[in-house]
Amino acid sequence: MEDTRIVLVRHGESRSQEGRTVGGHVGCKGLSDRGRAQVEALRDRLVRTKELSDAAALYSSLMARAVETAEILAAALDGLDVISECAFCESHPGPEADGLDVDEYERRWPPSDEWTRDTRRDPGGETYAEMHERVSRRLDELVERHRGETVVVACHGGVVLHSLYRWLAIDAADRREVAWFNPLNASMTEWRIGDVPFWATLPVQLVRYNDAAHLAGVQPGPRAAHQRDDDPRAAEAAKTRDAGADA
């Protein structure tokens, strides 16, 4: 059987990133103009290279920035229909936080030095452990459902990170000083699942991470390159493992 390819595409720059607001289901207002240009650059690359021409399915999260990303990419993937699922969403903010200005969010719920996997920073917000469980479970199900196929998922920096935590067995609560991961807007991260020549490993290979060569001619965002997304709560996990702003 052919290898299974799972290609995670982080959405283009969002309006929440541009305006520094928390972008949950309600607060997310889709892609910025720059974000659309970023995803269009990826679409044009895929049309030219045909590197994902064998894609059998196109998924996205329910958040507008990811749905728009998938809809733009569909033109390079033989017009595949977009299958939207909440399992691929970024960490869910609580109702009081969704759409809030990031600075106001930080004022109301400052990060704690006592962060754990089960910390719920804002009322009703999702914990790290809860997000890890839903993302890991759905990725495993995706592999089972699409054995021998290529699958593209338009998602979020947090989903990319949790795929790394899942398949590289990384503990985000490990407080040692280590390197950190920074998924860029409109970048591709690809996993391949198939036979491997080593006995003491998963049948999973990280083929590429943060592939954003298509963005060379696209204007960069106004904020620092380490910005991840629209959820400042990710900064708490960053204290332990993956420093950065939001996914």
Q: What percent of the chain has pLDDT over 70?
A: 87
pTM for this prediction: 0.90
Residue with tokens 């009322």: 123
Question: Do residues 16 and 27 make contact, with C-beta atoms less than 8 angstroms apart?
Answer: yes
pLDDT, tens digit (0-9, with 9 covering 90-100), for 148-184: 999 999 999 999 999 999 999 998 777 788 888 999 9
Residue with tokens 């592939």: 211
pLDDT, tens digit (0-9, with 9 covering 90-100), for 182-203: 999 999 999 999 988 777 688 9
Q: What is the DSSP letter of 217?
A: T
Amino acid identity of 10? R
pLDDT, tens digit (0-9, with 9 covering 90-100), for 86-97: 999 999 999 999
Task: State how far the Cα of 183 lies from the Cα of 9, in Å rounded to an integer.
Answer: 9
List own/partner pairs for 204-213 with CB under 8 A and 24 or more apart.
204/167, 206/164, 206/167, 206/168, 207/5, 209/164, 209/181, 210/181, 210/182, 210/183, 210/184, 211/187, 212/184, 212/185, 212/186, 212/187, 212/188, 213/45
